[in-house]
Amino acid sequence: MKTFLACLLVLVISVTLSNASCFMEELKPTKPGDEILGCTDFEGKLHDFGSQWRTKNCVDCVCFREGLSCCTSYATPVNFDEEKCESIFDKLTCSYKVVEKADQAKECQVLEWVG
């Protein structure tokens, strides 16, 4: 019983700390009776089962026979001094940095990230 409660506590803490923005989409044939050959991405490209890719909007996707699973590949800063600082997203690195508004060479402290 103690082991069960310890495992449950670890699970609850893990779920609380992981705020990834994800979704799962069930695969459906184009027409009834058609065979499903893979996953179609947001741009209409077909991906084989088992393949992985990153979209131009920094979303990591995996194609399973059960469906398409996608999650954001970045964390978003949510707890920082918004009066003094601003967050800037870099699409090349798929990451945010938080810098001072007055001097973008100076980074700001971020207390919490989500995603």
Q: Exposed, middle or buried: residue 85 (CB in 10 Å: 0-12, 13-18, 19+)?
A: buried
Give the integer Cα–Cα distance in Å for 107 and 109. Answer: 7
89: CB partners within 8 A, 6+ apart: 74, 95, 96
Give tens-digit pLDDT for 5-30: 333 333 333 333 445 689 999 998 87
pLDDT digits over 39-90, tens only? Answer: 999 899 999 999 999 999 999 999 999 999 999 999 999 999 999 999 999 9
Taking the CA atoms of residue 113, residue 108, residue 84 and residue 57 in that order, the dihedral angle to the nearest 10 degrees is: -50
Full set of structural domains in the chain with CATH: 19-72 (2.10.70.10), 76-114 (2.20.25.590)
Question: Which sign, positive or negative, has the C-alpha torsion 52, 41, 20, 83?
Answer: positive
Q: pLDDT-based confidence at 33, cuts 50/70/90?
A: confident
Contact (CB, 8 A) for 110 and 98: yes
Distance between CA atoms of residues 43 and 51, nearest Å:
16
